[in-house]
Amino acid sequence: MAIRFLTSGESHGEKLNAIIEGIPFGYELDFTFINSELACRQQGYGRGGRMKIEKDKIKVHSGVRFSVTTASPISIEIENKDWQNWVYPMSVEKIDFSKIDENLKCEIEKKIIEKRIAKFRPAHADLAGVFKYGFDDIRYVLERSSARETATRVAVGAICQNILKYYNISFESEIISIKDCENKKDFKSFVEKYQKEGDSLGGIIKIVIKNPPAGLGSFVHWDKRLDGKLAQAMMSIPAIKSVEIGLGKDYAKYSGSSSHDEIFEENGKIFHKTNNSGGIEGGMSNGEDIVLKIAMKPIPTMKKALNSVEIKTHIKTKAHFERTDCCAVEACGVVARNMAAIIILDAFFEKFGHDCKNDIDLAFKNYQKRINGI
């Protein structure tokens, strides 16, 4: 891989962090754009109270100088403003956490223990995580498995989008449906109805990668195929249960002659008039827009709690509930387009180099001349 990144932090931990390796020298970053993507992730119908508290913005600690990438690993941080409220009740006087001593840390730990969670939530990571690690407190699972972690992924993806803009490659996401509602004018009232009932909703999201060059990815090995990488990236997003490319599952309804994209030539340029393949053939981009559809399941945490059991006693109970969204389909689309940007930029750098912007620009320009002259 040309790019790799790691994230750290918990839903109600003090910070969310990411380290990105493999960004070349010479790209000027637009932090207004990057922070706007973080703001978009916090929007949408059916969001919970957490979105009123957090105002996500990145702080860059390394790898960028005078807004230009230096080729060193980029270290970024997003503050969790809700951390103090989570550790201490709202009525407790605020303290200066920059001057925490060991005694105060012990007090914090005691308060965290008092908030031990012992009721599994169906469809969340709770049960499997407790089985895997042997925890006696579900919070150890839910803090890291929470979708709050995707804030750092959006920040990383927004940096990747920023770089790909230099090559006229852009990313869009669109809500196709929320549950069985497909009328966008009705989305708000539809979500509000379920929110009042204490229920949750998922939906279908379309992601379009516009103007990618042909030849990203490879047919040579299974783990180099672009469609496989994009599918894995989409499935890594919490609550995503299926991924389709182009016609997706609907391909099974057609014959080859009625579904495959025919190839044409005009003024020396080769192109397709249709895009049923979704811009990927043989594990490689074919020059058309790349089109993905993903399905998000309803959020597991609900006021309308489902049946569950207590972690130690196995006594029947209702699932744990805490502050949550009713619907985060729009936010999920923002996460998805930024995850797609990470994969596309990685494939782009594998194809055109990943040390210096000037060298990459030249390689990209020469490649465009060659394929347009076929």
With a cut of 90, say whether residue 247 has pLDDT above it. yes
Judged against a pLDDT cut of 60, whether residue 54 lies above it is answered with yes
- pLDDT score of 93: 46
Return the top range by mean pLDDT from 55-59, 97-101, 314-318, 363-367. Answer: 363-367
SS3 327: strand
pLDDT bracket for residue 1 (50, 70, 90): confident
Amino acid of residue 119: K
Question: For the residues 239-248, what does the mean pLDDT come to?
Answer: 97
- What is the arithmetic mean of pLDDT over 118-128? 91
pLDDT (mean) for 158-187: 97
What pTM was computed for the model?
0.90
State how far the Cα of 347 lies from the Cα of 139, in Å rounded to an integer: 37
Nearest to 107 by CA among 88, 81, 89: 88
Sequence-separated (6 or more) residues with CB below 8 Å from residue 150: 41, 237, 238, 335
At residue 41 the predicted structure's pLDDT band, cuts being 50, 70 and 90, is very high
pLDDT class of 210 with cuts at 50, 70, 90: very high
Average pLDDT across the chain, whole number: 90
237: left (phi over 0), alpha (psi -120 to 50) or beta: beta
Which residue, 250, 241, 213, 243, is CA-closest to 229? Answer: 243
Q: How far apart are CA 206 and CA 306, in angstroms?
A: 30
**Mean pLDDT, range 153-171, rounded to an integer:** 98
Strand partners, 296: 203, 240
Q: Averaged over 24-29, what is the pLDDT?
A: 98
Q: What is the pLDDT of residue 89?
A: 47
- pLDDT above 80 for 96: no
Under the banding of pLDDT at 50, 70 and 90, the label for residue 242 is: very high
CATH topology for 4-372?
Answer: Chorismate synthase, AroC fold (3.60.150)
In total, the chain counts a number of residues equal to 374
Query: What pLDDT shows up at residue 101?
Result: 67
**By percentage, how much of the chain surpasses pLDDT 70?**
89
pLDDT of residue 90: 40
